[in-house]
Chains A and B, each alone.
Chain A
Amino acid sequence: MSRIGVFTCHCGENIGATVDCAKVAEMCKDIPGVAYSVDYKYMCSDPGQRMMQEAIKEHKLDGVVVAACSPRMHEPTFRRAVANAGVNPYMCEMANLREHCSWVHEKGEATTHKAADLIRVLVEKIKHNEPLFPIKVPVTRTAMVIGGGVGGIQVALDIANGGHKVVLVEKSPSIGGHMSQLSETFPTLDCSQCILTPRMVEAAQHPNITLMTYSEVEKVDGFIGNFKVTVRKKARKLDEKLCTGCGLCIQKCPNKKISDEFNEGLGTRTAIYVPFPQAVPNKPVIDTLNCTFYKTGKCKVCEKLCPTGAIRFEQEDELVTLDIGAIVLATGFKLMKTDVFPEYGYGKSKDIIDGMQFERLASASGPTSGVMKRPSDGKEPETVVFIACSGSRDRSKGVPYCSKICCMYTAKHAMLYKHKVHSGKAYVFYMDIRAAGKDYDEFVRRAIEEDDVKYIRGRVSKIYEEDGKLVVMGADTLMGGEPVEIRADMVVLATAVQSNEGSEELAQTLHVSYDTYGFFAEAHPKLRPVETNTAGIFLAGACQAPRDIPETVAQASGAAAKVVGLFSNDELTREPIVAVVNRLPAPAYSHCVGCFLCLSACPYQAIEQEEIKSRSGEVIKTLARINPGLCQGCGTCVATCRTKAIDLQGFSNEQIYAELMTL
């Protein structure tokens, strides 16, 4: 007979307010096999855990059900506590009284009964639990960082400085990300490129960092410590070893009228190009969609001129498979485009631009060399209207969240404009000013008080063109909703921060969770903000939620610390939740009949064919065998097996049917 202990937690008021915990503890005493049942205010606290451990010893318990929060929250905590009391940690199960009961139901008899039922199910399960032992697996001490913006660069540098190899994968031709596009940064107004480009160079020259630019992750197999990542190196149409980055090809390329992505469409570039002069690596790529040779079969000017003969028109994409121990996602964000706002004319006016376009206009390396010129006619704008929360906090645009960075960069934009055009007038329409951060509110005050930026609390209902001006119709809600009309030369929309292009596909490739908006989900919003729910995959920066630069860098260092911590182990322990094929004495050897349906069902190629041989070496039977190092414990093979020869440790048929018997 089992001796199971049931420990019911009140979680303060969280469970205690809706579930009668004392009654639950009393009810559980009557379940056959339960030797001890008690309730306590905070089971996860130190005294709570100690009480549990003492009870285990005193009542010689061999199994424990903790009825508290979600096992996704505290299962490791309680399993550790149980292990410290000398019981196998896998003899501990958690009943989810909080997330699945007290928080979602009203107080009452039915809720208390449900709580007891949830415990009863796990008591029956635990009777069939077997002690399990963690599986040890080796660690490949190479990290992969996906995304080469400021976050990715920081992660790569921190891991590399920790003494481990890093592969930095970036999909565009250069690392640098959005930060390399910015003119100046809040709240210090230091030049973005001046602080970023040295970091880019450092990353490129670091002996522990391998850059893979113009590359994308195609496939990820394996698990923590042992990923196999396939990266597509897109063809630059260039031999990178031969190219010296002299730039002659760029100068001579006859096709010069291509819209420049780096300048957000405000400038032009050639068909063979580097995104920006400080690009790392400083090696061009050929844009095959726009290159005259790929369109007409003629031209090849770059090939004729290249002093080192580096151009390779016939070059194909290359697939590279790498052994990786940990992955950090730092894929950043995208800005909502201006063409989704009917009230602002669907972005048809060239002088209604988004925040990133303004950055390029203000940047010394931008299309206007930092001189304020409006895109339509190149005139200096005398009046500029900035509209915060364009799309953010707007359910009709599918963005109910706050984009977090816009209040600050709008203040910065207004300030930069006033610094460049002293006589100019800057207006900001806002909903609330959210300037929480070190020196942030002071920065906004400076824009208002010293630089005389006019802040108007209200929304803009319409913008239309009239006599070369943009008429901005708004309301000032601090003046009782009085209508405001401003005849502006240029309008800057602080459009919403959204999850990056392709982030959902990437999440699916890596098997990490993502939220409704396509941002990657952290393992715990407060306590595990840089981890994902997939072991060995971490997060940094705006791919998780809108973030500014300081937060991104801080999170990047946090993720790097996690990776370095992981790599400090010689081997990792993995949950022993794996499938096993049963073994029987001869002559049956196993219930397995060797149909190998499981082999085709396994997503991890963890199932092998094993031959049972007689002494004379004759094959008697071929059985399935599961490699515990590769098995991830999904259990698909178990449900597939016709003869029930396979079972899943921790979620065995016996356990699940025992749970069902309590219904």
Chain B
Amino acid sequence: MAEPFEPKITAFVCNWCTYAGADLTGTSRIKYQSNVRVLRVPCTGRIDYMMVLKALHKGADGIIVSGCHPNDCHYTSGNYHARRRWMVFKKMMEVMGVDMRRITFSWVSAAEGARWAQLVNEVTDQVRALGPYSEFRQIVGAGIE
């Protein structure tokens, strides 16, 4: 019997809110599924959505982008830039036929340890149900490196 499918989840998180929130999840010993790999950036404003596409191309089946809640950005407004770009990115991806259930945009503050565990579990379950995202890798085509 084939092994059950375990999705790869890549999370792009900001240093000040979500990364700290995920640290709090740890300090509070709240358990969640281990499929997620966290990439730390200073701010969600740093995230170029090309990175998200690259992650999907390189084998991620689901993506989390998470930073500070509106008004809470350590850098005043980086999260607003991220949100604006996200709106455009989302529309564009929908037009291009990318399954947006694969990409989750969220906010987790430094105080929301439980929220982070919940988010990771929700995304992992959803992506597990969707199966591997080989479709995307077919769109992109093999061997572009």
Which of A99, A577, A633, A661 is B58 in contact with, Cβ under 8 Å?
A661
Does A133 interact with chain B (Cβ within 8 Å)?
Answer: no
If over half of B's interface residues share one DSSP class (helix, strand or loop), that class is named, otherwise mixed; here it is loop
B15 / chain A contacts, CB cutoff of 8 Å: 72
Contact between chains at A639 and B32 (CB < 8 Å): no
CA distance A105 to B26 in the complex (A): 9
* Interface range, B side: 35 or more
Query: Which residue of chain B has the shortest Cβ distance to A101 in the bound complex?
Result: B34
Query: Which residue of chain B has the shortest Cβ distance to A657 in the bound complex?
Result: B54
Say how far A511's CB is from chain B's closest CB, in angstroms.
5
Which of A99, A105, A534 is B34 in contact with, Cβ under 8 Å?
A105
Does B48 interact with chain A (Cβ within 8 Å)?
Answer: yes
Contact between chains at B55 and A660 (CB < 8 Å): yes
A121 / chain B contacts, CB cutoff of 8 Å: 37, 39
Query: Which residue of chain B has the shortest Cβ distance to A113 in the bound complex?
Result: B34
CA distance A73 to B27 in the complex (A): 12
Contact between chains at B45 and A514 (CB < 8 Å): no
Say how far B101's CB is from chain A's closest CB, in angstroms.
19
Contact between chains at B111 and A515 (CB < 8 Å): yes
Say how far A465's CB is from chain B's closest CB, in angstroms.
41
Q: Which residues of B contact A (CB under 8 A)?
A: 6, 8, 10, 15-17, 19-20, 22-23, 25-27, 29-34, 37-43, 45-48, 51, 54-55, 58-60, 71-78, 81, 85, 109-112, 117
Query: Which residue of chain B has the shortest Cβ distance to A14 in the bound complex?
Result: B26
Q: Which residues of A contact B (CB under 8 A)?
A: 70-73, 96, 98-101, 103-106, 110-111, 114, 117-118, 121, 508, 511, 513-516, 521, 533-534, 577, 601, 603-604, 632-636, 638-640, 648, 651, 653, 656-657, 659-661, 663
Known: A633-B42, A638-B48, A648-B46. A511 touches B110 (CB 8 A): no
B48 / chain A contacts, CB cutoff of 8 Å: 638-639, 653
Contact between chains at A635 and B23 (CB < 8 Å): no
Known: A577-B42, A635-B43, A663-B60. A104 touches B26 (CB 8 A): yes
CA distance A660 to B39 in the complex (A): 9
Query: Which residue of chain A has the shortest Cβ distance to B58 in the bound complex?
Result: A663
Contact between chains at A103 and B47 (CB < 8 Å): no
Other than the known A70-B23, A577-B42, what 18 A-B pairs have Cβ atoms closer than 8 Å?
A72-B20, A72-B23, A98-B26, A103-B27, A105-B33, A105-B34, A117-B37, A511-B76, A513-B16, A516-B111, A603-B77, A636-B78, A639-B48, A648-B42, A656-B41, A657-B51, A661-B58, A663-B55
CA distance A661 to B144 in the complex (A): 13
Which of B45, B59, B72, B111 is A635 in contact with, Cβ under 8 Å?
B45
Say how far B56's CB is from chain A's closest CB, in angstroms.
9
A521 / chain B contacts, CB cutoff of 8 Å: 110-111
Query: Which residue of chain B has the shortest Cβ distance to A635 in the bound complex?
Result: B46
Contact between chains at A636 and B43 (CB < 8 Å): yes
Which of B26, B55, B77 is A70 in contact with, Cβ under 8 Å?
B26
